[in-house]
Structure 1
Amino acid sequence: MDHAIQLRTAAPGDLDWIHELRHRVYAEELGQHQAHPSGRLSDGLDGDNVYLVAARGDTRIGFVSLTPPWVGRYSLDKYLTREELPVLSEESPFEIRVLTVEERWRSTAAAPLLMYAALRWVAARGGRRVVAMGRTELLDMYLAAGLRPVGRTVRSGAVSFEVLTGDVAELTRTVRDRHGRTLDRLREGLDWRLDADFAPRADGCEHGGAFFSAIGTDFRTLSRRHQVVAADVLDAWFPPSPEVRAALTEDPGWTARTSPPTGAEGLLAEIAGARGLPVESLAVGAGSSDLIFRAFGRWLTPESRVLLLDPTYGEYAHVTERVIGCRVDRLRLRREDGWVLDPARLASATEDGRYDLVVVVNPNNPTGRHAPADALRAVIEASPARTRWWIDEAYLGYVDPAESLAGFASVDPRVVVCTSLSKMYALSGMRAAYLVADPDTAGELRRWTPPWPVSLPAQLAAVTALRDPAYYAERWARTGELRRELAAALAELDGFASVDEGLANFLTVTLPPDGPSAARLVRECRRHDVYLRDLSPMSPAFEGRTFRVAVRDTAENARVVAACRSGLDALRAGASAAVPAPGRVAAGAAGGGVAR
């Protein structure tokens, strides 16, 4: 790999070369800045920028500069106010700057490779939009790459620039379409040292569940399940109730070969009785994702406008933005507010009726915060009649089932409550869920539900679980105890900025700004067969340094703590020295930049 093209985050030793190359190109060649006697050109954002470097052996080829939104300022702020360029405030973009390649490498794939690396780094931090300054005379090149002008031109020295913006997913596809063969060819020998996957998932959605790759998705090595800690998904740490296990093992051959009730009639009746709901207000599915895809596919079109919380469960952004193509806005939850949803902000955002659908996950995943039912109901009641509300209560049992809005949903045509039976009842492998809506809405969805939507084992397990509330209430209470114990043990480790519990069966852990990224620690923990969830791709709000941990039993929680301790020690000891973590570099003096 000595002479393979290497992509890495810049180390302090790269900065002199970056400043020297910047001077040669932007001062001497383009005249954007005045020449400096030192032959170097630094940048006022050097202390906050992230630089990605391409190199072959000891030869540096080029670099690209990135300014994340959490820095709080952009190079564009020197030229335009936020009122003149609202995209900087409204969409929390990442700024891609000064993509610069040594002259002898400009006819190679170095520039597309650096742009692709920048987009993958941004996506790995939850970035959805980028901004850039492109030289006006090269506008056609930027348009071909998928960037679009925002209608603002700025001048820096002898150079004029167009302000450009683009969607990260669309830009990534464009780079892949135009340079896919080259990227695939380079990938074979590429020394990819970034803490972002080289390629996005085929379905474009970031899920948990990487633990199963360690067990074996071909199911030939299931014994590995005893060695792997699956804390990157929110499956229950406890087994289903003894009655459920007995029902599934009484005659497994019959259960496996027999068709279930066509419309899950028994399951619907059991849910109605257990929850005190009219059966005509219910629809069931093979997990909440089944219901999300089915319902949203019926209700929404590319012309629909949707409001999501940010951060929240990523399936909603995937379905609305990537699958259906809706216009999606986000109500940003803030770390400084403890990630709590402010009902007044939600009411203000929805009062004008611009949204066809508002999605609220309550308690929210991955923050674990819960909005009181009375406050949320008041916001919904005051909202316009045209706005539909989807309330996801998958983890409500860990808070208080009495906080459910299901009864409200059964009589108000604007409201739908979705509830998974998978997580709360230890049935994730079975896939069972239901939604509650007014009878007309629920009836429409039942008409668009294929026969046998839930398997016989899943129906049998779910019905039996609902008949054993005492067992599950005790397990939910014990989950809270385990969560608190795990949080306390993680908080004692040296290397975390915060450990936040929330109210559900998981907690979040944040690394300090000058520490390793969440992706690197998660990767280190996998060396110990402990799988955690890097939250960075979900939202820029996590700044690339927060991960989620599902609550497991006492023994597995201890393994999580031990793996985190070992991972932190390894990263501190320099195990990642060849892959420097994104971090701070010495501050410079001058600013400006182009994509070249």
Structure 2
Amino acid sequence: MRRHLQLRVATPEDREWLHELRHRVYAQELGQHVPDPTGRLRDGLDGDNVYLVAARGADRIGFVSLTPPWLGRYALDKYLTRDELPLLSEGGLFEVRILTVEPRWRASAAAPLLMYAALRWIASRGGRRMVAMGRTELLGMYLAAGLRPVGRTVHSGALTFEVLTGNVTELTMATMDRYRTTLERLRSGVDWQLDMPFAPRPDGCEHGGASFTAIGTDFRSLHRRHQVVAADVLDAWFPPAPGVRAALAEDPAWAARTSPPTGAEGLLAEIAAARGLPEETLAVGAGSSDLIFRAFGQWLTPESRVLLMDPGYGEYAHVTERVIGCRVDRFRLRREDGWRIDPARLAAAVGAGRYDLVVVVNPNNPTGRHAPAAELRSLIAAAPAATRWWIDEAYLGYADPTESLAGLAATDPRVVVCTSLSKMYALSGMRAAYLVAEPATAARLRRWTPPWPVSLPAQLAAVAALRDPAYYSDRWLRTHALRRRLAADLAGLDETVMIEEGVANFLNVTLPYGGPSAAQVVDECRRHNVYLRDLSPLSPEYEGRTVRVAVKDTAENACIVAAFQAALEILLPRSAALGPRIDGVPVAGSAR
């Protein structure tokens, strides 16, 4: 029986073979290093690097080494300074090195599969660019994979290497385009033991969550909605206001068969009244994604320069990079700063005037942090006149509705505020949202809005929701209490996990170094019908260790805690090195 080629992260048992193979190839065969009497070849990054191993049964075939950016150093630092190779100072850069295959397997698919596995691992950790040293005699293989020389050559022992780089998104798209058939053929013969899917999503973006797949996207098993805890999406845990439910229940047959007001005139009037805004400053859409795609498609081109917060809502990177093809930079939010925007750093980044658009989600998803309106007003006032600001306030109700910049957006042509009614008003299934812009900007967007942009049921629901602010204010306050209880319960499960709350309807759980990956915990929780969100693909700042958890009601939160506990008992070694922490601070009774 033919054995499958296995791809896995190196185990402790693999390490001795790995060092021995490196010695045989790079010291004895190729002369890059002086032979070592131990017959082993090691370097200073061995303890921190990630090694992916290819094996067939008990036979180890080859490996590739990955150096993630959170280590703060690369093998290339031994050969080139950061001034000589500024690429090494870029955020989100992963180094791929030492692709090595046993001699008798070099004609097999092992090397291409290891390269592909490295690309998938990097993408799953939010990597945006990779760098590698490719032996000059194998340069054709690396060029065929989409890597490109940066114009630097490195000499090491008897070998000469070309320094190569590639954009992870572009490499992924090119790989799937050129080698899709080959990969599909190889997939059936691979035992893929890595913690990310073999193939990326077709559009490369995780819209929503996987929980509806578990319920059934064909809608034939909707009873499973009572069994699945959908904490991977940020839908409200509470039902819509009573008036919303009454409006939808009064005559659902009529609402289903009747064309809505063409331009959602009644909804526009209700938003204007509820928010104290002129109607001519508003445009509506079928959810914020509709508005993002429509507005950005009008404003931006592949020549546009965009600044996104990092970590940040993945839809913005998807639209600007993958759909439009803009030149996108990231403004790094730091865990050590509590993920908060540093106004001075952001002002310096924007002040040069090179950005056509700056996107700020406030409160931010996925960090949950809120930037004070006064700080943002000052930043915008000092920014270049040609820079447009897009402020996403989808979660503002959980912080403070009076902190909205909608009033500024209604008068300043540089500012647009987008507000989804999905998350705060329990209307995710309805798809209703609006944006606020000065009248000329809003009018241009309305001209590019098709008739009937929001369905009649959605218009009915949104209008009724806006008419009951007291109900939602109470639900938002209750959300804070549920979040704090969930945070405390999760923190009590294990002394090595860190809980970060923020101000919105979710919290983040970061796993310890040396513990399971976020993907492994998410996968294990799904065995208990609890769906959580692995934040790793959104940003390398999460280091593959952070899980986002939506706040649900008391019963579902208990299911989340139980599933998390079961996952940690299976995946996490016992350790008393750290106490349980909320926002990085030890809680009462924890180890110091």
Could you say whether these structures have the same fold, taking a TM-score greater than 0.5 normalized by the shorter chain as the test? Answer: yes
CA distance in 2, matches of 1:140, 1:527: 44
> Contact 1:208–1:533 (CA<8 Å) still a contact in 2?
no
Partner of 2:579: none
CA distance in 1, matches of 2:295, 2:171: 29
Partner-residue secondary structure (3-state), 1:123:
helix
Structure 2 counterparts to residues 169-184 of structure 1, below 5 A: 169-184=169-184
Task: Give the Å deviation of 1:378.
Answer: 0.5
Partner of 1:70: 70
Letter matched to residue 286 of structure 1 = A
> Contact 1:297–1:324 (CA<8 Å) still a contact in 2?
yes
Residues 325-334 or 32-41, more deviating: 32-41
Letter matched to residue 432 of structure 2 = A
How much is the aligned-residue C-alpha RMSD, in angstroms? 1.2
Letter matched to residue 41 of structure 1 = L
CA distance in 2, matches of 1:372, 1:474: 22
Change (3 A) 1:496 1:464: farther
> Contact 2:69–2:91 (CA<8 Å) still a contact in 1?
no
Gaps of at least 5 residues in structure 1 are 575-596
Change (3 A) 1:437 1:560: same
Task: Give the Å deviation of 1:174.
Answer: 3.2
Task: Give the Å deviation of 1:178.
Answer: 4.2
Partner of 2:590: none
Partner of 2:478: 478
Partner-residue secondary structure (3-state), 2:88:
helix
Task: Give the Å deviation of 1:495.
Answer: 5.2
CA distance in 2, matches of 1:568, 1:432: 38
Partner of 2:49: 49
Task: Give the Å deviation of 1:180.
Answer: 2.8
Letter matched to residue 469 of structure 1 = P
Letter matched to residue 504 of structure 2 = A
CA distance in 1, matches of 2:524, 2:56: 26
> Contact 1:479–1:505 (CA<8 Å) still a contact in 2?
yes
Partner of 1:395: 395
Structure 2 counterparts to residues 342-421 of structure 1, below 5 A: 342-421=342-421
> Contact 1:306–1:357 (CA<8 Å) still a contact in 2?
yes
1:427 aligns with 2:394: no
Task: Give the Å deviation of 1:2.
Answer: 7.8
> Contact 2:6–2:190 (CA<8 Å) still a contact in 1?
yes
Partner of 2:332: 332
Partner-residue secondary structure (3-state), 1:499:
strand
CA distance in 2, matches of 1:449, 1:151: 47
Residues 38-47 or 402-411, more deviating: 38-47
CA distance in 2, matches of 1:495, 1:543: 19
CA distance in 1, matches of 2:215, 2:573: 29
Task: Give the Å deviation of 1:52.
Answer: 0.4
CA distance in 2, matches of 1:447, 1:167: 36
Residues 531-540 or 140-149, more deviating: 140-149
Task: Give the Å deviation of 1:573.
Answer: 7.5
Partner of 1:586: none
Task: Give the Å deviation of 1:207.
Answer: 2.9
> Contact 2:362–2:391 (CA<8 Å) still a contact in 1?
yes
Task: Give the Å deviation of 1:179.
Answer: 3.5
Task: Give the Å deviation of 1:92.
Answer: 3.0
Partner of 1:242: 242
Change (3 A) 1:167 1:401: same
Partner of 1:225: 225
Question: In the comparison of the two structures, how many residue pairs are matched?
Answer: 574
Residues 312-321 or 128-137, more deviating: 128-137
Partner-residue secondary structure (3-state), 2:152:
strand
Structure 2 counterparts to residues 206-285 of structure 1, below 5 A: 206-285=206-285
Task: Give the Å deviation of 1:154.
Answer: 1.3
Partner-residue secondary structure (3-state), 2:213:
helix
> Contact 1:495–1:568 (CA<8 Å) still a contact in 2?
no
Partner of 1:89: 89
Partner of 2:583: none
Letter matched to residue 550 of structure 2 = A
Question: Larger relative contact order (C-alpha < 8 A, sep ≥ 6)?
Answer: 1
Partner of 1:445: 445
> Contact 2:8–2:52 (CA<8 Å) still a contact in 1?
yes
> Contact 2:418–2:435 (CA<8 Å) still a contact in 1?
yes
Partner of 1:493: 493
Partner of 2:581: none
Partner-residue secondary structure (3-state), 1:283:
strand
Partner of 2:577: none
1:15 aligns with 2:15: yes
CA distance in 2, matches of 1:88, 1:393: 35
For residues 265-292 of structure 1, give each alpha carbon's deviation from its aligned partner in whole angstroms, at most 9, with x where no partner exists. Answer: 0000000000000100000000000000
CA distance in 2, matches of 1:509, 1:181: 38
Structure 2 counterparts to residues 146-157 of structure 1, below 5 A: 146-157=146-157
Partner of 1:158: 158
Partner-residue secondary structure (3-state), 1:14:
helix
CA distance in 1, matches of 2:2, 2:227: 35
For residues 464-506 of structure 1, give each alpha carbon's deviation from its aligned partner in whole angstroms, at most 9, with x where no partner exists. Answer: 0000001000000100110111111111111543101100000
Letter matched to residue 525 of structure 1 = C
> Contact 1:66–1:94 (CA<8 Å) still a contact in 2?
yes
Task: Give the Å deviation of 1:108.
Answer: 1.5
Partner-residue secondary structure (3-state), 2:153:
strand
CA distance in 1, matches of 2:389, 2:365: 17
Partner-residue secondary structure (3-state), 1:312:
coil
> Contact 1:395–1:424 (CA<8 Å) still a contact in 2?
yes
CA distance in 2, matches of 1:32, 1:439: 66
> Contact 1:281–1:442 (CA<8 Å) still a contact in 2?
yes
> Contact 2:534–2:547 (CA<8 Å) still a contact in 1?
yes
TM-score w.r.t. length of structure 2: 0.95
Partner of 1:467: 467
Letter matched to residue 453 of structure 2 = P
> Contact 1:7–1:193 (CA<8 Å) still a contact in 2?
yes
CA distance in 2, matches of 1:222, 1:67: 44
Letter matched to residue 6 of structure 2 = Q
